[in-house]
Structure 1
């Protein structure tokens, strides 16, 4: 006997709805809103504006317990604070015994701190677009 599964419009919509809800459920399990992490990162870094990709990269270096301790500002989490600050200022993560992983090197805060005097090494010789202007000696 040939048994075919009959998909009704109602069962199809129920499946689509459940699929749409699954990623939100997975993200909600961490319990740490990105805005809370970002606010704490800005507070300890001393910068009002921190690029989002830099904060996302720093956040991915921490597990859920470390993120909770960081957002809560617990004094026992000073090592976590140092980890986040290193990631924000360097744009890199250095796992134990492995080469560094760069995730936002050009946006790192170490360049924002000295942007008036030093250019990011990935730019060639001056601020972006400097070659479009006439030289001062001309």
Structure 2
């Protein structure tokens, strides 16, 4: 279900970005006052202003579609990455809790030096893993 939501988000995000990029290509009467380079082209190079304006507005299609959308995908990637890393940390904690001690009474575990050393090593590994995740 989660992958379906991520896939739908990706499709909608790309479609909207492309629609916005191509919508900028449409010339309207406010372009002269909205875009400073178009004002410059019309005022100082009127014979080439159409070509320059097309090139200028065409660059928005590239910028919006290919340079703005990856940030949304990076957010999705990093949130998924952190989620999986935390699941792995939870599994490490569960392994520390479970171990191979089902036959030993909990009151005896405090006195068991081997068990305490194993827990110490597991906790040190857990802290190192957690630090790697935060770095």
Name the TM tier (shorter chain): under 0.3
Task: Judging by fraction of residues, say which structure has more helix.
Answer: 2
* Higher RCO structure (Cα 8 Å, ≥6 apart): 2
- Normalised by the length of structure 1, the TM-score is 0.24
- Normalised by the length of structure 2, the TM-score is 0.24
